[in-house]
Amino acid sequence: MSRVVPVVPVTPVGPSRAGPLEARMAELTGRRVPFVKATVVRARRPASARPGDTALVLADGRIEGFVGGVCAEATVRVQALRTLRDGESLLLRISPEETADGTGEPVVEEGAVSVRNPCLSGGELEIFLEPLRPAPRVLVFGESPIARTLLDFGPALGYAISSVSGADALDTPGAEALAGTRAVVIASHGRDEERALLSAVRAGVPYVGLVASPRRGAAVLAGLAHELDEEQRARVRTPAGLWIGARTPGEIALSILAEVVQAVRLPTAAAEEARVGAPVTVTATDPVCGMEVAGSAATTPYSDAGGAGRQWFCRPSCREAYEKDPGRYTKARAAAETEAGTS
């Protein structure tokens, strides 16, 4: 008699599992949340990560998945957040050995960067960082010829340009209609303009444009003085669009989209925070091991001990060493900075 052997699902060896991460990627993409997909493509022993291990790096520095231990994660976080800002994929090489130029600084090549990570116990990692950012979302309020032409240009630009009908759709601050929106263009020729402007400005949309003549645009903003302060009113572009001598609806739509592209490609710090959905992190040097880290209170160990300002660390053990004798590391850092300034 044959024996029935139950089939036991095979769990992949290693910390990463593609299934849950793929589902998470689909969720983030559906919610228009930017992130970086980090994939180990090469590993030299001893290394805890293996080729194929994958992680997602979110805009606040959180890492979901596995691409190496805590030391490797610190370097991946710094470089991934940079790729998220510039939108360019990158091959990251991490090694405990001195970089090729002997300075200890990252060696940047076209499409790749090599980083010395003194915390690694050995081995090397090569990790491909792929930033996945949603197409810029632009909402057009109104049904004028200019509004319709703006919608026609969307596919050519690769932007997610869609129409919004009725001021009620934009009336609630933080409404779903404005989530992740990079630009709102109001081209309704006087219909519910004030309500739409209030909603877009209060929701912090990076670009808000009003299609109107200079005289009428100024009058509309003056009428909102009791609702918006001077700084908020100054954020509204009116007449919307760059000055190119445009006259026809198509030309005006082109000038508006040129201004939108300018705002998208050359964002302010506030606009950058609105795009990635988290404060832009700063880079700092771990005073104990000298490694570059991304300073984020949500993801990076830090300490305010020693009176030298907030210090960031690649891992808790470096923080513990610092807090035992902050003066030792602050003096060493000051000496190194002085030496660098005189060399």
Q: What is the mean pLDDT of each run of 10 residues along the chain (343 residues)?
A: 35 52 90 92 86 93 89 89 89 81 74 83 88 90 92 88 71 59 89 88 92 94 92 93 93 95 71 51 76 75 82 82 82 59 52
3-state helix, strand, coil in the chain (%, to 5): 35, 20, 40
Looking at residue 302, its pLDDT comes to: 82
Looking at residue 239, its pLDDT comes to: 94
Left (φ > 0), alpha (ψ -120 to 50) or beta: where does 196 sit? alpha
Q: Which of 72, 227, 87 is nearest to 158 (CA)?
A: 87
Token pair, residue 76, equals 């991946």
* 253: helix, strand or coil: helix
The backbone torsions φ and ψ at residue 294, rounded to the nearest 5 degrees and listed phi first, read -95, 120
Looking at residue 315, its pLDDT comes to: 78
Helices (H), 8-164: 18-30, 70-86, 145-157
Token pair, residue 338, equals 């002085």
Looking at residue 10, its pLDDT comes to: 35
Give yes or no for a contact between 153 and 257, defined as CB atoms under 8 angstroms apart.
yes
Amino acid at 244: I
Q: Please report, for residues 91, 95, 324, the alpha-carbon distance to residue 126 in angstroms, rounded to integers and kept in the order given.
A: 7, 9, 34
Looking at residue 60, its pLDDT comes to: 87
DSSP 24: H
Residue 335 to residue 81: CA distance in whole angstroms: 30
Residue 212 to residue 217: CA distance in whole angstroms: 5
User: Which single residue is written with the structure tokens 């240009």?
Assistant: 153
Looking at residue 338, its pLDDT comes to: 55
Looking at residue 171, its pLDDT comes to: 55
Helices (H) and strands (E) in the chain, counts: 10, 16
E strand intervals along 3-78: 35-44, 54-58, 63-65
Looking at residue 186, its pLDDT comes to: 94
Looking at residue 201, its pLDDT comes to: 92
Residue 207 to residue 183: CA distance in whole angstroms: 4
